[in-house]
Amino acid sequence: MISKLKRYLDRGVWYLKGHKKIIGYTLGILLVLPLTLLLSGQKQTQESHASALPLAIDVQTGKNQTTASNIITSPRFTTRSGNELIVVFLTSDGAVASPQLFNSVSTETIHFTLARRANGQKGTAEIWYAYVPNQLKNARVTATRQNGSYHGMMRVVSFTGASNQLGGTAGGSGIGNPVLTMLTIRANSKVFAIANDSSRSTAQTAGPNQFITQQYRVNALRTAFWTQQTTTSIPTAGTQVVLTSSNNMTPATDAWNMVALEVVPAAALSEASRTTIDPVISKTTTLPNESNNSPESPINTSFPPADAPANVTNTGFPAGTVLTEWSEGKSGFINVSNQTYDGALIPAPTSGYWQIYGNNLTFRNCKFNAGVTFYGDNIRVEHCDITGGISLSGTGNVSVLYNNIHGWDDGIHITSDSGPVTNVTVSYNFVHDPIHPTKSECPTDEATPHEDAIQLLGVNGLTVTYNTLDVGPWYLCNGFDVLNSALQIENTQGPDVNMNINYNYVNGGGITARFYACSNTNFIGNRFGKDARYGPFVVNDKACLVNKTGNVMEATNQPLNMEYTPQ
């Protein structure tokens, strides 16, 4: 690590240390995974195209659990038809000493799959799902707690015209007003959330363009449970949705858990029907630390048709963009907040790399002529061309989307060296063509380049989806490995936890994907190129991968088991 840091400084790349910062809450991550049907012992993973219905709510029912129990059961319900997505929203009180969770959710014939859980504070908030091809008649959902008998709330919602592949999910726990950020993956979807406040039973008010759909307050326990959803459909894929609520108390010091789910329309629907018909919202409702990820299940390994792997044609700023040199100078160091830079030409600074401190920053359709390190919260970098890579240090709530990243030592470098890094989304980026010497220019010491397309040195809550991470063919340089990995995960600056690394193309290096230390990570549906020297992957930590299905070699479609392989 010392030699690598020295090389970054000597060559003017962007791995730097900055101010210490503390994040007051932990946000979860966006997860993209296909729905799995478990009905009468059979599983279904392919997206249904049978329905010509618009995305709409069929059944809404639920229960406010007024008597403590180890189970919670819904009223009986009947769906209108088959081919419906059934989503169960659950929340519960719990003990302070041990995390609460539900370990089983089912009807008489259906076993539901966990989509998302947040239980970092007292109690839990969870979302479970199943895609059901047949009509349900007089069905009842039962959820079983792992720990003890408590109060809670359940909401069951069935959808017609829904895809049997989930959209994004998010989850988090913290102190203050609940807030989650997620990135939608398909146009005209809707976002739903469930949460608990374990500090007081005050009524919650949803954030902008959202409304509360069910709320249960237990005054004796100083606890509140509620569900909320977006008011309208989200028209565009890749939209950042911020889910918030407040009990209007000052200061905001309550403990909370919240999870959210994007429900997406079936792919068979035409764009016209998706944009003109909004889901039905019923205004009447019958009220009545384990992994944040779903159990392992078969995965459709194909990239969704609308989400082709990132390449030079669909990343970076659009053709015809007029770039204007930005007004922040060339020193290489700025401290600025609450700004949007659109179409900015950002020159190589005199220091060789950029250090940008500040919050609430957006860089869109920009060109960076040098690498950049961000220190701050609420950062968004999208549709930019970046020479030299991008680094995050001590940041929270960051989105890196649709960028063309090239000419780097590490393409995307995430480290908690200057403070925790939380809630990061890296999607649809083309990370390729690292800087490395030709064979005739190989150095003769340990500073030999050791490039990674993505290197993780401490992050809590990371989503990496639909990227092309291409290091290129491996070779030796004076006896040293050059071009290390497309993905390198280690804990030298902090733990790497709660991650979803799904549906990427990864290629090259000595070993393409190296999992040295991490936990609670999904690694689903990734495609491996052929250019690794020693092998496609190494998994050195048994606790790392909780879901590792659908990963294949690109050329042969040969499955990769991603088993524990100490090195």
350: domain CATH number is 2.160.20
Cβ atoms 287, 214 nearer than 8 A: yes
Please tell me whether residues 182 and 68 are part of one structural domain. Answer: yes
Sequence-separated (6 or more) residues with CB below 8 Å from residue 242 = 179, 180, 181, 207
Cβ atoms 374, 391 nearer than 8 A: yes
- CA–CA separation, 24 vs 1, rounded Å? 29
Instruction: Indicate whether 206 belongs to any domain.
Output: yes
Instruction: Indicate whether 563 belongs to any domain.
Output: no
**Which amino acid, 421?**
V
**Which amino acid, 201?**
S
Instruction: Indicate whether 355 belongs to any domain.
Output: yes
Sequence-separated (6 or more) residues with CB below 8 Å from residue 381 = 362, 363, 366, 374, 390, 398, 399, 400, 401, 403
Q: Which residue shows structure tokens 């363009």? A: 209
Would you give the DSSP letter of residue 278?
P
Instruction: Indicate whether 237 belongs to any domain.
Output: yes
Please tell me whether residues 268 and 381 are part of one structural domain. Answer: no
Please tell me whether residues 20 and 41 are part of one structural domain. Answer: no
Last residue within a domain, chosen from 260, 276, 292: 276
Please tell me whether residues 161 and 189 are part of one structural domain. Answer: yes
State the CB neighbour count (10 A cutoff) for residue 141: 28
Q: What is the DSSP string of 284-332?
A: --B-----SSPPP-----SPPTT-PPP-TTTSSSPTT---EE-SS-SSS
Domain with 481, as residue range(s), is 2-25+332-553
Instruction: Indicate whether 254 belongs to any domain.
Output: yes
Tokens of 329: 């100078």
Instruction: Indicate whether 287 belongs to any domain.
Output: no
pLDDT by 10s per residue, the chain, length 567: 333 333 333 333 332 223 333 233 333 333 333 333 333 333 333 444 434 578 899 999 989 998 999 999 999 999 999 999 999 999 999 987 778 899 899 999 999 988 888 888 899 999 999 999 999 999 999 999 988 999 999 999 999 999 887 788 888 888 888 988 888 888 899 999 999 999 888 888 899 999 999 999 988 888 999 999 999 999 988 888 999 998 887 678 888 999 999 999 986 333 322 222 222 222 222 222 222 222 222 222 233 333 457 888 889 999 899 999 988 888 899 999 999 999 999 999 988 899 999 999 999 999 999 999 999 999 999 999 999 999 999 998 899 999 999 999 899 999 999 889 998 999 899 999 998 766 666 656 555 567 899 999 999 989 998 899 999 887 777 777 778 899 999 998 989 998 999 889 999 998 999 999 999 899 988 999 999 999 999 999 888 998 898 899 999 999 999 988 876
Please tell me whether residues 135 and 247 are part of one structural domain. Answer: yes
Please tell me whether residues 84 and 11 are part of one structural domain. Answer: no
Instruction: Indicate whether 102 belongs to any domain.
Output: yes
Pairing state between β 102-106 and 142-145: antiparallel
Sequence-separated (6 or more) residues with CB below 8 Å from residue 313 = none
Tokens of 438: 């030709």
Task: Classify 368 as helix, strand or coil.
Answer: strand
Give per-residue burial for 82-119: e unless 16+ CB within 10 Å, then b.
ebbbbbbbbbbbbeeeebbbbeebbbeebebbbbbbbb
Determine the straight-line distance between the first and last CA of the chain, rounded to whole angstroms: 19
- CA–CA separation, 112 vs 61, rounded Å? 17
Q: How many domains would you assign to the chain?
A: 2
Please tell me whether residues 385 and 447 are part of one structural domain. Answer: yes
Give phi and psi for 9, each to the nearest 5: -70, -45
Question: Which residues partner with 110 through β-bridges?
Answer: 39
Please tell me whether residues 236 and 352 are part of one structural domain. Answer: no
Cα torsion 196, 198, 199, 202: sign: positive
Please tell me whether residues 492 and 509 are part of one structural domain. Answer: yes
- Residue 437 has what pLDDT? 66
Please tell me whether residues 59 and 190 are part of one structural domain. Answer: yes
- Residue 7 has what pLDDT? 37
Q: Which residue shows structure tokens 């049907």? A: 37
Instruction: Indicate whether 565 belongs to any domain.
Output: no
Q: Measuring CA to CA, how many Å separate 504 from each of 30, 180, 491, 508?
A: 15, 24, 22, 13
- Residue 170 has what pLDDT? 85
Sequence-separated (6 or more) residues with CB below 8 Å from residue 21 = 375, 394, 418, 419, 420
Residue 279, preceding peptide bond in cis (omega within 30° of 0):
no
**Which amino acid, 556?**
T
Tokens of 327: 């007004």
- Residue 262 has what pLDDT? 93
- CA–CA separation, 154 vs 126, rounded Å? 10
Please tell me whether residues 530 and 417 are part of one structural domain. Answer: yes
Last residue within a domain, chosen from 276, 300, 322: 276
Please tell me whether residues 82 and 200 are part of one structural domain. Answer: yes
